[in-house]
């Protein structure tokens, strides 16, 4: 059954494939993206509420050099 569905999906134009993908994704994973962003923000606030510290020794005298994907 799914093979025929996949064959039909493959024959759709890319724009229609993308629309169908997003519709299925919304049905399977309805979590609101704002909700996920709020959870990440809460985790960061609880973890770094006293400032950033060295992962190895716990020192708060940390010098950050460079960025990767907008993060240090």
pLDDT at position 3 over 70: yes
pLDDT tens sequence across 18-68: 999 988 888 887 766 678 788 888 988 887 777 777 878 888 887 767 676
Domain boundaries, the chain: 1-30, 31-63
Nearest to 59 by CA among 51, 49, 71, 47: 51
Name 68's bridge partners: 71
More confident residue, 70 or 7: 7
Q: Tell me how far apart the alpha carbons of residues 4 and 14 are, in angstroms, rounded to a whole number.
A: 18
pTM value is 0.41
The mean per-residue pLDDT over the stretch 1-24 comes to 88
Ranges of H-type helices in 1-72:
2-11, 14-28, 33-47
């Amino acid at each position: 059954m799914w093979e025929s569905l996949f064959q039909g999906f493959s024959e759709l134009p890319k724009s229609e494939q993308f629309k169908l993908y997003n519709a299925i994704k919304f049905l399977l994973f309805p979590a609101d993206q704002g909700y996920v962003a709020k959870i990440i923000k809460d985790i960061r606030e609880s973890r770094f509420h006293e400032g950033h510290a060295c992962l190895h020794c716990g020192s708060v005298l940390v010098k950050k050099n460079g960025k990767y994907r907008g993060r240090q």
